[in-house]
Homo-oligomer: A and B are copies of this chain.
Amino acid sequence: MKKIQGGVCASIGFKANGVHCGIRKNKTKRDLSLIVTEVRASAACVYTQNLVKGAPILVTKKHVADGYASAIVCNSGNANTCNANGEEIAEQMCSLVSDATGIPASDVIVASTGVIGQPLSIDPIREGMPSLVSGLSEEGSNLAAQGIMTTDTISKEIAYSFTLGGKECHIGAIGKGVGMINPNMATMLIFITTDAAISPAMLQKALSADVKDSFNMVSVDGDTSTNDMVAVLANGCAGNEPVTAPGKDFNAFRKALSKVTTYLCRKIAGDGEGATKLLECKVTGAKSKSAARTVAKSVIKSSLFKAAMFGADANWGRVLCAIGYSGADVDVTKVSVDFKSRAGELAVCRNGSGVPFSEEEAKKILSEKEIEILIGLDDGNGKATAWGCDLTYEYVKINGDYRT
C-alpha cells in the first residue's frame, strides 16, 4: 500500500471542484463542493444517530437506497437542519446537479454543514452551479476539501494505492471536522472514492465495520452532530475482479479503507476546535473489545483530562476517574497508565496507584503536539484506540460566538 497524491481524484474516473457561491459572506471561503464519477458507483453511507437529523441525511438515504450513486454535492455555512423546508431545499440541490451534469437527481448524495436552524436559500447554490460544474477536474480534490470546511483550520485529504486481484486500485478521501464531533455509527463529513470494483452490499459491510474502530472512536467535544455522514463511492474503474463476498480481496479492501479512515481520524482530532494537541488513547488488556472502546472513549472525552493535557499537566488521577465512570467492567486495582510522545515515555500509575515520576520529564513529554495515553487493564485481550484533542481557551472562544 502506497500513500499517493490526489485525494478523492486519485481514483480513476473521479473529478471534483469547490467554489464560493455566496452561502458564506466571506468571499475567500469556498462553500459548495461537488464530486462526480463518470461511471455509476457502488455507494455506501453511514449517518449520525442523532434523532434530530439534517434534511440532507433524509434525502441521501432515499437516493442511495438502491446501492448506487454518481455524485456528492455538499455546502458549508448552513447545516440545513431544523428548517421547515429543509428536505425540499436538499432535493433542489440534487436537481441542480442533475440539470448541470446529466446525472439523475436520485443518484446524487447531498450533505450540508454549518449553523443549525437557519433557512438555507437555494439562490446562491443555483448561481454557483455552472462554475462548480464547469470547473470539475481531476486536480479538484483540494478545492472540494476546502468547500466543506467550517471551523477546520486545514483541509483534509488522503489517498492510497493498493492491489486487489492483481490490479492496481486507488482509494482517496476528503473530510471535515471539527466541532460537534462525537460520532456514533458515523461522523462528520467524510467522502471517500475508490476505483475498486466492489458490490454495494460488500462496500456497506466494509464501511459499517470500519467506522466502529475509526470515526466512532473520535471525540472533540462529546456532541454528536445532526449532520454526520460518511459516504463511499466505488466505481470499479480499476478493472479488478469485483469483490462480492468476504475473502482475501475483501480483507485487502478493508485494510486500504482503514488506512484512509485512520488517517482522517487523526487529522480531525488534531484539528479539533481550538486544539493544540492530538491525543491518542490506546487501551490494551480489556475484558473485551467493547470494554476497551468504552474506556478509551471515556478518557478521550473527559473535559478535566483534556484541560490537563492543554496545561501539559500529568494529572493521571483524571484518567483513572474517567476509566472508573466509563461503565466498562474494569478491575481498578490492575490499571496501569503511561504517557508517551516523541520526547519519551513515562509510567505514572501501576496497579491503580501512583508511582513516583519526574515532573520535569512529564512536562517535557506532554508539551509535544501528539500525545499517547497508554492504558493497560491486565484483564484480557480487548484493545482499542480513541482520538481526541485538548480543551483550550480557543475552543470556548470559537463556540462562544460561532453563530453571530
Contact = CB atoms under 8 A, between A and B. Distances in A.
Nearest to A180: B304
A224 B325 contact: yes
A323 B392 CA distance: 25
Contacts of A402: 308, 311, 313, 315
A215 to B, nearest CB: 15
Interface stretch (A45-53, A91-99, A163-171, A368-376): A45-53
Contacts of A304: 179-180, 221, 223, 399
B50 A307 contact: no
B353 A308 contact: no
A287 to B, nearest CB: 13
For chain A, give the interface size range: 35 or more
Given A223-B325, A320-B117, A321-B52, A395 B307 contact: yes
Interface of A: 49-53, 79, 81-84, 115-119, 179-180, 182, 184, 221-226, 301-304, 307-308, 310-311, 313-318, 320-325, 330, 332, 349, 351-354, 359, 391-393, 395-404
20 contacts: A49-B325, A51-B323, A51-B324, A51-B330, A53-B324, A79-B317, A82-B320, A83-B354, A117-B349, A119-B354, A180-B318, A221-B303, A223-B302, A226-B321, A304-B399, A311-B401, A311-B404, A313-B400, A392-B396, A393-B397
